[in-house]
Amino acid sequence: MSRDHVTTSSGQSHDLVRLIAESLPMLVWMSGTDKRCTFFNKAWLDFTGRPFECEVGDGWADGVHTEDLQHCLDTYSGAFDRREPFVAEYRLRRNDGEYRNIVDYAAPMFDVDGTFTGYIGTCVDLTDLRRAEAERNVANDRLRLAMESGNSVGWDWDLKTNRHSWFGDLSTLFAIPTNAYVGTIDDFYRYLHPDDRIGVQRAIDTARESGSPYAAEFRVLLPDGTLRWVAAKGQCYYSADGEPQRMLGINWDITERRDAEEALRRKETELKEAQRLAGVGSWHWDLATGVVTWSEELFRLAARDPGLPAVRYEEHPQLYTGESWNRLRAAVEASLQTGAPYELLLEMISGDGSHRWVMARGEVDRDSTGDIKGLRGTVQDITERKQTEEALSNMNGRLLEAQESERARIARDLHDDIGQRLALLAVMIDASKELQSSSSLEDARLSLDTVQKQLGEIAADVQALSHQLHPPNLVYLGLEAAMRSLCAELTAQKGVQIDLRFDDIPVSVPADVSLCLFRVLQEALNNAVRHSRCEHLEVRLRGTPDTVELTVGDDGVGFDIEAAVRGSGLGLTSMRERLKLVGGELFIESQRTGGTALRARTPVR
């Protein structure tokens, strides 16, 4: 009833109620001042099985559930006493025994003269509605629990009113303490990171204009400065004339996923950099597809374009020399049969045609059941190490040759020079003895003078040879005195002019540094005298608080430095190696017609 009471004459009340009852699919009743009820319409027959227009008096209360009866009677009686409308909800038994949820609406009736005549009311069956509400509440609870467990928020945006409703795990995503919030779209934008707002707005506008689903990922900036990554999906709904009416969607927290992706990206970057620095490429061979996946560094090592199709196992013979491929293929087959890993030194043919030495390692890759599903491994470029080993081996050979050559030279000097001169002295001494016996004392004296002179020359030569092998001046007098003595001996022997100069030499130079610089000077002077045909040399030894620098320059014929290093001689190589042992460096400049300048620098601490 739309009014608080009904005004009618007593004679018309039954007719009015009957007309109302016939048009409504609900229980319609009327009671007089004696509170006895009469039900009128077909709904009464369907519900109770009793005939139309049945006067049940107080018997209507028999069908009310016992738990609801007293409340129902109190409401009914109190309204009668106060002549007020009332609403009561209770459970009423249907003719099949099922209790149904009923809501009872009633209004008082008055005659035209204002006399109270009773009540008229309707009973509406709300059972299905209540069940639907209960199902809806359960569904809402399920949705809420799902959103809270998934750190997600549902939203409903009314495009006409701009009313934006949120529900779900608002605490995690937006630091909102409740699980429901109503605002505007601008409230949502305020939570977004400033750099992401334009992108999200464009995605929403595109979805509204095109009718396509809305999807975006963005950052939410919480009041405490915390950043959360959020993913969103939604759909726009339109009216019959194509106007957008509302958008429904869901947001969920993807911070952990983003953090994991960022950590993975960093690890991949670190792995790539580590592989680049170590010259190690990685690979994986899937037996099912036959595809061998290479890392970026392996493509670089093989000098092949990473943009080309994936390399298959059948194509690998072209990557190695025949001998290397045969060994690799045998190792792969054995590994697949036995599960044992392998490690091989192979000669790879790069895409540019060059050959590189690599250390190839491989092991089986198994699935969860333990079956072999492929192989994985690494390829390490050891070309420089291989070349260094070969160079070291060559250098060792050359060193042995140099040692034998030096021994042969000393042996020749001792045998062909010193030995022959000593033999000659022995003959001269015998001759002197004969002169003494013949009373030619003057001749004997002259012969002995010659022997004495020869002995002095031999002693000087032996001393020079000894100094070449080990300079005693360096040990007892120091670096400066040893270098002066060396230059003086060379000037006396070879006749070359040497200008020697010392500047700020430290008081104490370590013994290993002194020996190194002395040997470098010795080798440089000998090379200049032998090969450059120079007449003048300049030697300078200059010191600083931390270093000593030796400079040797000549005005002779220069040479090809690279050719000299590759040659059979050990002069330049030995100088460099000596300097390396004390942390020093060697610099050489030479021109065919401009002489040679050698500079050796070494730390003294």
Pair (246, 274) in one structural domain = no
| Cα 456 off chain centre by | 78
| Number of CB atoms found within 10 A of residue 410's CB | 14
Structural element, H or E, at residue 141: helix 127-149
Pair (483, 579) in one structural domain = yes
Number of residues that make up the chain: 605
Angstrom distance (rounded) from CA 311 to CA 298:
12
Pair (299, 331) in one structural domain = yes
In-domain check, residue 411: no
DSSP state of 310: P
State the residue for tokens 């689903």.
213
Pair (275, 220) in one structural domain = no
Beta bridge partner(s), residue 37: 31, 57
Domain encompassing residue 269: 260-381
Pair (172, 77) in one structural domain = no
Pair (267, 249) in one structural domain = no
In-domain check, residue 588: yes
Collapsing DSSP to helix, strand or coil, 96 comes out as: coil
Angstrom distance (rounded) from CA 245 to CA 237:
6
Structural element, H or E, at residue 10: helix 10-23
Number of domains within the chain: 4
pLDDT of residue 330: 93
Whole-model pTM: value is 0.42
Angstrom distance (rounded) from CA 572 to CA 598:
10
- Tokens linked to 336: 């697949």
Angstrom distance (rounded) from CA 83 to CA 72:
16
Angstrom distance (rounded) from CA 249 to CA 153:
9
C-beta of residue 269 within 8 angstroms of C-beta of residue 371: no
What residue ranges of the chain have pLDDT lower than 50? 1-3, 10-12, 21, 23
In-domain check, residue 520: yes
In-domain check, residue 45: yes
> Residue 244 sits in a domain of what CATH number?
3.30.450.20
- Of 219, 253, 287, the domain-final residue: 253
One-letter amino acid for residue 577 of the chain: E
Pair (16, 100) in one structural domain = yes
In-domain check, residue 460: no
- Of 322, 348, 381, the domain-final residue: 381
C-beta of residue 75 within 8 angstroms of C-beta of residue 85: no
559: closest CA among 527, 592, 533?
Answer: 592
Interaxial angle between packed helices 511-527 and 479-494, expressed in degrees from 0 to 180 and rounded to the nearest 10: 20
| Number of CB atoms found within 10 A of residue 19's CB | 11
In-domain check, residue 560: yes
Pair (22, 106) in one structural domain = yes
C-beta of residue 574 within 8 angstroms of C-beta of residue 580: no
The alpha-helical segments, DSSP class H, found in 381-477 are 383-412, 420-437, 441-469, 472-476
Angstrom distance (rounded) from CA 218 to CA 208:
19
Angstrom distance (rounded) from CA 422 to CA 462:
12
520: closest CA among 482, 556, 546, 493?
Answer: 482
pLDDT in tens, 560-598: 666 655 555 556 777 888 888 888 999 988 876 678 889
- What mean pLDDT is reported for the chain? 81
C-beta of residue 604 within 8 angstroms of C-beta of residue 513: yes
pLDDT of residue 293: 87
Contacts for 142 with CB less than 8 Å, ≥ 6 apart:
none
Burial class for 323, CB neighbours closer than 10 Å (0-12, 13-18, 19+): exposed
Angstrom distance (rounded) from CA 168 to CA 347:
63
DSSP state of 417: I
pLDDT of residue 267: 87
Buried b (16+ CB within 10 A) or exposed e, 278-294: ebbbbbebbeeeeebeb
Angstrom distance (rounded) from CA 535 to CA 529:
8
Pair (312, 341) in one structural domain = yes
C-beta of residue 324 within 8 angstroms of C-beta of residue 347: yes
pLDDT of residue 1: 38
31: closest CA among 104, 101, 100?
Answer: 104
- Tokens linked to 21: 């009852």
C-beta of residue 191 within 8 angstroms of C-beta of residue 221: yes
Counting Cα atoms < 13 Å in the Cβ hemisphere of 193 gives 14
Angstrom distance (rounded) from CA 443 to CA 445:
5
> Residue 535 sits in a domain of what CATH number?
3.30.565.10
Angstrom distance (rounded) from CA 74 to CA 307:
86
169: closest CA among 85, 290, 79, 253?
Answer: 253
Collapsing DSSP to helix, strand or coil, 55 comes out as: strand
C-beta of residue 297 within 8 angstroms of C-beta of residue 275: yes
Collapsing DSSP to helix, strand or coil, 244 comes out as: strand
In-domain check, residue 441: no
pLDDT of residue 492: 85
Pair (241, 271) in one structural domain = no
Pair (235, 266) in one structural domain = no
Pair (241, 327) in one structural domain = no
In-domain check, residue 57: yes
254: closest CA among 232, 230, 234?
Answer: 230
- Tokens linked to 248: 């429904």
Collapsing DSSP to helix, strand or coil, 215 comes out as: strand
One-letter amino acid for residue 59 of the chain: G
| Cα 51 off chain centre by | 83
Q: How far is CA 126 from CA 2, 5, 15, 100, 375, in A?
A: 19, 24, 27, 7, 69
- Of 125, 149, 183, the domain-final residue: 125
The two beta strands, 497-503 and 536-543, are parallel
- Tokens linked to 11: 């004679």
C-beta of residue 327 within 8 angstroms of C-beta of residue 346: yes
